[in-house]
């Protein structure tokens, strides 16, 4: 069975007496409230420039934003409001929130994993290597779009990964849904690239037979991201930008 589907988002605007419950629900972690989700008819289409920059309305404000390409997810750059001429540039550490603020590695990728017209944010934050046993990441989740410049999406969904140190958008099964490739420590010095497939129900959150067949152990026993780390051509999932939108 593929990973679980979406669950309803619970609002973060709560009375003072319910603050502790809000924290347990994932609210109050420094990311603020989610952006409003406009009607389908008001969506701004996504496209990819000749140099691989994703142009899309990530936060639903009607203005195009830009996402730079990134090999490992650590140097991802998102410019909110780029289409309006006054962009706000953020990276993974700006998006992760308080739970991952002190992590050794923070990586992120952006893609429309369920092809609902809104791009989603996958983000992971992991502490420093500490021995043979893999570390449970402080954050490893997909945040459904539209999402804000502080990394708040419509809802957060945990993705079960082993000590993720790098992430990339992949195309494992060659369908119309973007997939996720995550590279990390599997234990006892063994590193591997793990797949989580995208689909109509969103990004797979756990390993199953469909995902596990794409597992690839690295030949080296260190953190260096391997040369074979999958990286999809975003034009597989998005049209090519034209006119002034396509200018880098």
The tens digit of pLDDT for each residue in 172-198 reads 999 999 999 999 999 888 999 999 999
Instruction: Count the domains in the chain.
Output: 1
**32, 39, 108 from 184: Cα distances, Å:** 30, 38, 14
Please check whether residue 25 lies inside any domain of the structure: no
Confidence tier at 245 by pLDDT (50, 70, 90): low
Query: Residue 209 sits in which domain range?
Result: 47-236
The share of the chain scoring above pLDDT 70, in percent, equals 83
Judge whether 78 and 91 are in contact, CB under 8 Å: yes
Please check whether residue 10 lies inside any domain of the structure: no
pLDDT at 171 over 60: yes
Confidence tier at 83 by pLDDT (50, 70, 90): confident
- pTM as predicted: 0.86
Please check whether residue 181 lies inside any domain of the structure: yes
Please check whether residue 11 lies inside any domain of the structure: no
Please check whether residue 15 lies inside any domain of the structure: no
Please check whether residue 101 lies inside any domain of the structure: yes
Among residues 238, 241, 240, 244, which one has the least CA distance to residue 119?
Answer: 238
Q: How far apart are CA 32 and CA 61, in angstroms?
A: 16
pLDDT at res. 16: 41
For residues 98-119, average pLDDT: 95
């Amino acid at each position: 069975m593929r990973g679980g589907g979406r669950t309803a988002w619970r609002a973060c605007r709560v009375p003072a007496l319910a603050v502790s419950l809000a924290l347990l629900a994932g609210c109050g972690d420094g990311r603020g409230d989610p952006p409003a989700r406009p009607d389908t008819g008001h969506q701004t289409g996504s496209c990819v420039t000749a140099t691989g920059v994703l142009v899309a309305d990530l936060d639903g404000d009607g203005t195009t934003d830009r996402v730079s390409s990134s090999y490992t997810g650590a140097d991802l750059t998102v410019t909110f409001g780029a289409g309006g001429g006054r962009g706000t540039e953020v990276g993974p550490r700006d998006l992760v929130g308080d739970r991952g603020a002190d992590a050794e590695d923070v990586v992120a990728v952006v893609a429309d994993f369920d092809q609902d017209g809104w791009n989603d944010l996958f983000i992971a934050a992991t502490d420093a290597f500490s021995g043979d046993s893999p570390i449970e990441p402080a954050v490893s989740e997909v945040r459904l779009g539209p999402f804000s410049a502080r990394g708040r999406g419509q809802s957060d969904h945990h993705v079960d990964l082993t000590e993720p140190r790098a992430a990339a958008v992949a195309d494992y099964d060659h369908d119309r849904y973007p997939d996720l490739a995550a590279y990390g420590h599997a234990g006892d010095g063994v590193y591997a690239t793990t797949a989580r497939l995208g689909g109509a129900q969103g990004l797979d959150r756990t390993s199953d037979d469909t995902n596990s067949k794409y597992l690839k152990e690295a030949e080296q026993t260190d953190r260096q991201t391997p040369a074979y780390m999958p990286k999809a051509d975003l034009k597989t999932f998005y049209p090519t930008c034209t006119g002034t939108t396509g200018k880098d």
